[in-house]
């Protein structure tokens, strides 16, 4: 049986920020240039082109990963904003009552209970 997912205040912000940070760090990773070194070391061998090709493939995967991390980070940020908007609406609705009068206080609730 799976346990409950517990998210503490600030957890989503940390997730968003760390994901953004990881994405920006990965953007500086370039492997294709290392493939050039391999190519020049092995000369005219068939491995020369394969080293460069392998590096380019890795670079493309890293670029795709950074895009996915950016998208995920933005989704987490959108979730934070949606939660905050919902939370603010709920807070406002508790301050306004349907009967048009002021919101009830704890003293009002105690008095009503005593009257029953």
In this model, does residue 37 exceed pLDDT 80?
A: no
Dist CA 36 CA 47 (whole Å): 11
- Position 55 confidence tier, pLDDT thresholds 50, 70, 90: confident
- The pTM for the full model equals 0.64
- Closest alpha carbon to 75 in 15, 24, 4: 15
Mean pLDDT in residue range 23-51: 77
Tokens of residue 43, six digits: 């000369």
Q: What is the pLDDT of residue 1?
A: 55
Stretch 94-98: mean pLDDT: 55
Mean pLDDT (the chain) is 82
Dihedral of CA atoms 49, 55, 57, 58 in degrees, nearest 10, equals: 160
């Amino acid at each position: 049986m799976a346990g409950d997912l517990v998210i503490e205040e600030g957890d989503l912000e940390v997730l968003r920020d760390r994901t953004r940070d990881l994405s920006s760090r990965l953007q500086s990773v370039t492997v294709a240039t290392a493939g050039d070194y391999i190519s020049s070391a092995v000369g005219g061998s068939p491995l020369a082109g394969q080293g460069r090709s392998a590096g380019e493939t890795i670079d493309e995967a890293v670029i795709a990963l950074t895009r996915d991390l950016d998208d995920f980070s933005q989704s987490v940020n959108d979730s934070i904003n949606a939660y905050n908007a919902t939370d603010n609406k709920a807070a406002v609705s508790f301050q306004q009552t349907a009967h048009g009068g002021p919101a009830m206080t704890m003293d009002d609730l105690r008095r009503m209970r005593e009257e029953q």
